[in-house]
Structure 1
């Protein structure tokens, strides 16, 4: 049964219609592939920065971060603290590099350096990362809207997915960026509104939040001991640096935006604007999680319905009420953290405000999904279709058709991934683990290509094969039987991207040094900026 009143439904419907209308408006400008994928370099730097900020501020942040803070502490905030260093590296080295190549795809350079296998490997890693990201975001939005509407999560993903596909296909990257500018503002306002409503309903206000948070160690950033087996401050800092370096330096979602800027300087400024916006914004969501924990510590009876529902989902269908109640009593906050904010919205937020906040959550989901779809379609067209299936140059109309088809297919596959995630414990944990696995090999190979000009094809390939084996071992060795426990990965799962990246990069350098040659490998000339970025 729906918990949304008519006013809330009207606000949500108006928001969805407005997003589709934006796509229709920009559709008239998308007459060629360059406009569809790079807006012909006409977007101001501040708008690109807001767009990148909106992409970072996905529903994984909007829902997953408060859930994580409710269930544990502020350890995950260290991820945000790693952003400035990664941004400096990207602005100093990666942005000028991409702008000089004129290539719309971030992965074309890998083929120039190491051959087609390197480009294909990076593209596959990127597309898998996007499916994981899009799927986790679809899951997050469905989790919230199910609590509000009573509709099935599958139906919610289908409806929202169709709206996102329509405005992304019609509007291209320009529609994505300008809608993300608006969505970034809506998300931030929605988060502030939620925090105000929680504190307003809590006797003692923020002082009570701080008091209860200190009692339960909610503000801890993790231990500072050099322990790489637990989620310490240093483990999350390392994970955050490598993931953010991958985001700013290798991920097509962000690289594609650098081409929409009028200059490299504007593109670099956009990265820093994103950082200065996202770090305090992410802190806001950790404060929301701590405030929700304090609220339900004061009113524990108000969270019982959530605990009973989670417990019932874990038990057989024929479980008795007594068994469900006993199971609910054994649950820890981490077991139901993702469901707490949707429950608060259902029970405590007044009519009208719910519609605004749902629109903010939809904005958080739609901005990241739409940018991921557009970037994935661009990579599919430039790095797969034109490279392997249609070697002769495509006409403008053919290229646009492939871009549109790729956008639709990625959107549908992302919905399928989201449906497959139904039932996971923490959407943030799932996203962090999958992104670390897929990004590790891609980042290590790219760093090797950019930093070491002497590394040759076979050395990079050997290092990548060993790196992938290390990543697979770190990912799956935890499932080894007890008699093989000595062969399990002893490190925390967040270290996968760190170890995987360094394995490929350092082994590539080692193999190059062992060869003892200091001559540069012959490489294909990069295309000039006058050429089409698709050919």
Structure 2
């Protein structure tokens, strides 16, 4: 359990976050200041904000849990980021800066009509709800181990804190808080790895040798399989998800629009995206080190993989360090949550309801509060799952609904039967999703959940391309 010093550190951190959000409250004079900071935010802050959006509690806890239970196959996801960052810098950033809209989905309405904008917006909101639920749930695990508070209580308290500072300060509070939280979580991860290695026989070298002998550093099977997480599946899944992040995710597009220029926006993508690759490797090292430590010092009882890291923090770290690590984990979760809350509110304003300018700032604050409250409900639904990372990846594949395929059609095809292409893609998504729920049914189509976004996106684009109309 934690001591009074740990509690003091955590309380100071949380109060500082709230105070930081309040600092920006009076700067929010209109919708533009709330959603893009009037386009005046610096590269360093935006880059760290993009990075912090990548590194949620999903990364801080689920990646070590994944490496502990399996191997490094999930790290392949990060290897696709340099490719997708290049494509974003080359095509997507100039496009959005030219359109100059607060919404990522205004482009779809220009190309295909109002239906495309609504479709993409709804899919985005569903994806964000699933993501926020996974993040809040994973964030609650270590706090539960350290304090003894119930998971439900922690989820509600943390969700309310995010609600307050993201609603008060708008995008500026979110970005600058993300930047500080990003630095804190990197420092916390290095600190924790140091303490784990210090307790392993042979230190880093001993850990590495033990992991090699037990195949814990494997990047997965290179055989192509429709039903298992092979190297190629995760690589392609990472490519599609990260391309969708950089090219069709409101959270990232808002940062492009908050930069001072096109070049600054492009630097934001490169710096923020590429920083995630070595940091995600750090999290896999933590998971592998935990496995070696508990291989040498067996756990007294079975613990779910996602809870091994919190258990180590609770039982092995000294007083004071526990508080710092909990603050780092809270940073990882809250930075991504606040980003999702702000971007979801922007989508509700610009794409769904189209509120008039006079009432837009009030609506944005109300919508932020509602989305934060919904994230609490979503997190409660994650209670009891075996692997939050696997559940999140599956939901992301389903809810994304082939948005990327529609964006690619808009970019590369002048005229296309987009409605038919999306309809066919949605039928495929529903079919494969129902097949997962009812695998014994005669119409079931067994497919790894991560293939849904890959095939759904490709199907939408392929149908749209084949049915393109000539001028």
TM-score scaled to structure 1, two decimals?
0.86
DSSP-derived class of the 2:49 partner: helix
DSSP-derived class of the 1:31 partner: coil
Cα distance in 1 between the residues matched to 2:340 and 2:371: 9
Cα distance in 2 between the residues matched to 1:440 and 1:46: 33
Structure index of larger Rg: 1
1:46–1:269 CA contact under 8 A, matched in 2:
no
Q: Which residue of structure 2 aligns with residue 333 of structure 1?
A: none
Unaligned runs of 5+ residues in structure 2 are none
1:50–1:181 CA contact under 8 A, matched in 2:
yes
Cα distance in 1 between the residues matched to 2:239 and 2:229: 15
Matches within 5 A, 1:22-171: 22-171=20-169
Q: Which residue of structure 2 aligns with residue 501 of structure 1?
A: 457
DSSP-derived class of the 1:105 partner: coil
| Deviation of the 1:483 alpha carbon | 6.0
Q: Which residue of structure 2 aligns with residue 462 of structure 1?
A: 420
Unaligned runs of 5+ residues in structure 1 are 311-335, 520-535
Matched, 1:394 2:357: yes
| Deviation of the 1:479 alpha carbon | 3.6
Q: Alpha-carbon deviations, 1:376-409, whole Å to 9, x = none?
A: 00100111111xxx5xx331xx111100000000
| Deviation of the 1:346 alpha carbon | 0.7
Cα distance in 2 between the residues matched to 1:446 and 1:127: 17
Kindly tell me: are residues 136 and 481 of structure 1, through their superposed partners in 2, closer, same or farther at Cα, counting changes over 3 Å? closer
DSSP-derived class of the 1:131 partner: helix
Kindly tell me: are residues 126 and 482 of structure 1, through their superposed partners in 2, closer, same or farther at Cα, counting changes over 3 Å? closer
| Deviation of the 1:229 alpha carbon | 2.6
Worse-matched range after superposition: 272-281 or 404-413: 272-281
2:81–2:274 CA contact under 8 A, matched in 1:
no
1:218–1:290 CA contact under 8 A, matched in 2:
yes
Equivalent residue in structure 1 for 2:308, among 340, 344, 360: 340
Cα distance in 1 between the residues matched to 2:44 and 2:397: 29
DSSP-derived class of the 1:198 partner: helix
Matched, 1:441 2:441: no
Matched, 1:360 2:328: yes
Q: Which residue of structure 1 aligns with residue 447 of structure 2?
A: 491
2:439–2:446 CA contact under 8 A, matched in 1:
no
Cα distance in 1 between the residues matched to 2:41 and 2:232: 37
Matched, 1:197 2:153: no
Kindly tell me: are residues 101 and 209 of structure 1, through their superposed partners in 2, closer, same or farther at Cα, counting changes over 3 Å? same
Cα distance in 1 between the residues matched to 2:438 and 2:187: 47
DSSP-derived class of the 2:200 partner: coil
Cα distance in 2 between the residues matched to 1:244 and 1:282: 14
Matched, 1:21 2:19: yes
Cα distance in 1 between the residues matched to 2:449 and 2:158: 32
1:51–1:177 CA contact under 8 A, matched in 2:
yes
2:435–2:441 CA contact under 8 A, matched in 1:
no
| Deviation of the 1:248 alpha carbon | 0.5
Matched, 1:450 2:411: yes
Equivalent residue in structure 2 for 1:416, among 377, 402, 409: 377
| Deviation of the 1:47 alpha carbon | 1.6
Equivalent residue in structure 2 for 1:478, among 436, 444, 452: 436
DSSP-derived class of the 1:304 partner: coil
Kindly tell me: are residues 207 and 140 of structure 1, through their superposed partners in 2, closer, same or farther at Cα, counting changes over 3 Å? same
Kindly tell me: are residues 493 and 174 of structure 1, through their superposed partners in 2, closer, same or farther at Cα, counting changes over 3 Å? same
Q: Which residue of structure 1 aligns with residue 232 of structure 2?
A: 234
